[in-house]
């Protein structure tokens, strides 16, 4: 049995532990140091701390460890991979020399220039005055040269903002001593593309998109990441291969030429827009939270891939298999994050998450029988779905079941995905642009409804529209349209009273806390869904009986099921297929409440 150690203590490492545990090789997966969530999936390797690179390497060798997978960037920059190599322990992760790609933005720019990788125009500065002089227009991007846990980037919209950021980095030394890289601002759509590297070649994983700012609409300060989704609409396999050939492979070739071959995962943050593909940054480890959205979709043996990547040329002939479903990852952050996260708050609801949802721990600790917050980013919630919309709905329903004082959760993760790559050019220099593959077969009516509902998810919905099947969306579209025309924020969810009982209950229980004030529920045939929702919420519930192939007497059975809800479960009932009337009634309820 292969013994594998995953180094790290965050949500990314928890996702790695779970993905490695799915290997058909049935490895013994260990963690160092891990966290309470990881401890449920992997034993702790306590023989030595990864902070003591030589001591840890010696302990791993003595324990017969077959592979060490290094999660965070700090141990890589500190030379843990080098120490493991000296001890004869296979390691997935680059040497300290190659890890400078992340440790120094200026070094990364030098490598990109030598390799011919497209990136933003830039200047490296040591003083506030030089930084301001290097800015030709606003907004401008200011990056601390060294490691900053994802918080060392500021997009300055004015000279005052630039001066404040430069002062904080260069004079107050918020992140320690080091220069600042001043870059031109690039416009377009961001894509995170990770590739496994064996020192000779780069093999891409599926693309993802993350959300770095703390607030909805990408407002507020940068964080380590507040959510992610995969795949990215419009980025098909042919385009991915073109990006790797343009960005990742030249860097792998350049580092090999310099005598520092890159073994590990090379993360490229890319901006895709009318000007083409340009590289924003390189990281030398799995992205967080992108990893939590990408790895649940991987069907290939991750242990085999990482072990092969640790050997020169080991990935020759590697072909990865993927789940066709979409994944959405949400980050639950502590109050006060990213500046001064509050810790020690008890986390409730972890046992209420529906089956099939993956919850990974990022910043938690155990105190007796309780799980408490212990970091800025506390938990990750990942859901898979046949569509991005269904994955998003499931992820938010699960996340809303988990509570702790001061919890922060962005409400717009993956909300605008779908048509977001529409502004891409027909061709990108050096990259083979291939149109997005055709969508799955659907009726014309379903396609029209999907398009009409694309923008229904909002930051603070007041009305929830729930139905048991996607086939009922055409009938319920009138409610969405009426609310849209009146400017009333609302959301749409598809969940079944029979197959998704726990999901329905979680959604209803947390609806009031999330700001909903009325729930409209469409249902046909036996129409159990409105009553199930009403059983788990104190909000007004409006039932819409729907006609369906299974319904009797033109929907009369649905009318009776809704109108004859048991005592104690009040459910209003409008006419058959009268979704618009349900919306009008919701409007009156909202008006009365205000």
Mean pLDDT in consecutive groups of 10 residues from the start of the chain, 594 residues: 96 98 97 97 97 98 98 96 98 98 94 95 94 94 88 91 95 94 92 98 98 92 95 92 96 98 98 88 96 98 98 97 97 96 96 93 96 98 94 93 96 73 44 41 36 42 88 89 88 79 82 87 82 90 84 74 83 93 93 71
φ and ψ of 518, to 5 deg? -145, 145
Q: Is 506 helix (H, G, I), strand (E, B) or coil?
A: helix
Same fold, 3-92 and 442-594: yes
- CATH fold label, 442-594: Rossmann fold (3.40.50)
SS (H, E, C) 247-278: HHHHHHHHHHHCCCCCEEEEEEEEEEECCEEE
Burial letters for 355-370: b for 16+ Cβ neighbours within 10 Å, e otherwise?
eebbbbbbbbeeeeee
What does the alpha-carbon distance between residue 253 and residue 159 come to, in Å, rounded to a whole number?
39
φ and ψ of 534, to 5 deg? -60, -30
Sequence ranges of the binding site: 469
Q: What is the CATH number of domain 3-92?
A: 3.40.50.20
Cα–Cα distance list, 233 to 237, 244, 311, 324, 458 (Å):
11, 18, 33, 12, 20
CB neighbours of residue 561 within 10 Å: 22
Residue 256 near residue 266, CB atoms below 8 Å: no
Separation of CA 452 from chain center: 25
pLDDT of res. 561: 83
Question: Could you tell me the two tokens for 143?
Answer: 């990056």
Question: Could you tell me the two tokens for 267?
Answer: 């993360």
Residues 6+ apart with CB under 8 A from 292: 11, 12, 14, 15, 228, 329, 358, 360, 380, 382
Q: Please state the domain extents for the chain.
A: 3-92, 442-594
Does the bond joining 231 to the residue before it have cis omega, within 30 degrees of 0? yes
Residue 109 near residue 119, CB atoms below 8 Å: yes
What does the alpha-carbon distance between residue 163 and residue 134 come to, in Å, rounded to a whole number?
12
For the chain, count helices (H), then strands (E): 20, 27
pLDDT of res. 581: 96
Q: What element of type H or E holds 197? A: strand 189-198
Question: Could you tell me the two tokens for 486?
Answer: 């009146």
pLDDT of res. 89: 98
What does the alpha-carbon distance between residue 10 and residue 67 come to, in Å, rounded to a whole number?
19
Length of the chain: 594
The pTM of this model reads 0.72
Sequence ranges of the binding site for substrate: 469
φ and ψ of 165, to 5 deg? -70, -45
What does the alpha-carbon distance between residue 507 and residue 509 come to, in Å, rounded to a whole number?
6
pLDDT of res. 594: 58
């Amino acid at each position: 049995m292969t013994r594998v150690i995953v180094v790290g203590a965050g949500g990314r490492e928890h996702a790695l532990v779970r993905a490695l545990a799915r290997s058909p090789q049935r490895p013994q997966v260990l963690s160092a140091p891990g966290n309470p969530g990881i401890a449920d999936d992997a034993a702790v390797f306590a023989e030595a701390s990864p902070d003591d690179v030589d001591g840890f390497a010696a302990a791993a060798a003595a324990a017969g460890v077959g592979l060490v997978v290094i999660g965070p960037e700090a141990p890589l920059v500190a030379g843990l991979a080098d120490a493991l190599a000296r001890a004869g322990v296979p390691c997935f992760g680059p040497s300290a020399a190659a890890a400078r790609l992340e440790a120094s933005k200026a070094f990364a720019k030098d490598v990109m220039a030598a390799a011919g990788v497209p990136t933003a125009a830039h200047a490296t500065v040591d003083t506030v005055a030089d930084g301001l002089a290097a800015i030709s227009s606003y907004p401008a991007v200011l990056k601390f040269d060294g490691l900053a846990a994802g918080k060392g980037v500021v997009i300055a919209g004015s000279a005052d903002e630039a001066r404040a950021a430069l002062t904080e980095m260069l004079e107050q030394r918020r992140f320690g001593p080091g220069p600042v890289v001043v870059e031109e601002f690039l416009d377009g759509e961001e894509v995170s593309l990770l590739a496994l590297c064996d020192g000779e070649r780069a093999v891409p994983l599926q693309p993802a998109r993350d959300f770095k700012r703390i607030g909805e609409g990408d407002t507020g300060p940068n964080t380590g990441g507040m959510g992610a989704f995969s795949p990215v609409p419009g980025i098909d396999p042919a385009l991915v291969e073109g990006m790797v050939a343009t960005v990742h492979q030249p860097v792998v070739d350049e580092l090999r030429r310099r005598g520092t071959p890159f073994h590990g995962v090379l993360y490229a943050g890319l901006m895709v827009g009318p000007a083409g593909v340009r590289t924003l940054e390189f990281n030398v480890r799995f992205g967080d939270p992108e990893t939590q959205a990408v790895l649940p979709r991987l069907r290939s043996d991750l242990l085999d891939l990482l072990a092969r990547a640790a050997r020169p040329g080991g990935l020759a002939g590697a072909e990865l298999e993927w789940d066709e479903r979409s994944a959405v990852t949400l980050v639950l952050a502590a109050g006060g994050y990213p500046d001064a996260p509050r810790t020690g708050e008890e986390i409730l609801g972890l046992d209420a998450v529906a089956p099939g949802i993956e919850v990974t721990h990022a910043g938690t600790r155990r105190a007796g029988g309780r799980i408490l917050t212990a970091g800025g980013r506390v938990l990750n919630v990942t859901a898979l779905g046949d569509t991005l919309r269904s994955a998003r709905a499931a992820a938010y329903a699960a996340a809303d079941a988990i509570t702790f004082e001061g919890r922060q959760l962005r409400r717009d993760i993956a909300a605008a995905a779908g048509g977001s790559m529409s502004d891409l050019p027909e061709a990108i220099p050096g990259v083979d642009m291939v149109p997005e593959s055709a969508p799955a077969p659907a009726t014309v009516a379903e396609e029209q409804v999907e398009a009409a509902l694309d923008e229904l998810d909002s930051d603070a919905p007041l009305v929830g529209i729930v139905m048991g099947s996607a086939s009922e969306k055409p009938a319920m579209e009138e409610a969405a349209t009426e609310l849209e025309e009146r400017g009333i924020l609302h959301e749409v969810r598809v969940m079944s009273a029979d197959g998704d009982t726990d999901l329905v209950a979680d959604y209803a229980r947390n609806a009031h806390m999330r700001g909903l004030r009325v729930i409209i529920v469409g249902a046909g045939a036996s129409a159990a869904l409105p009553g199930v929702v009403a059983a788990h919420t104190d909000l007004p519930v409006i039932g819409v009986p729907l006609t369906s192939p299974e319904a009797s007497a033109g929907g009369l059975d649905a009318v009776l099921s809704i109108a004859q809800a048991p005592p104690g479960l009040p459910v209003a009932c409008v006419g058959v297929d009268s979704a618009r009337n349900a919306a009008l009634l919701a409007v009156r309820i909202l008006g009365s409440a205000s």
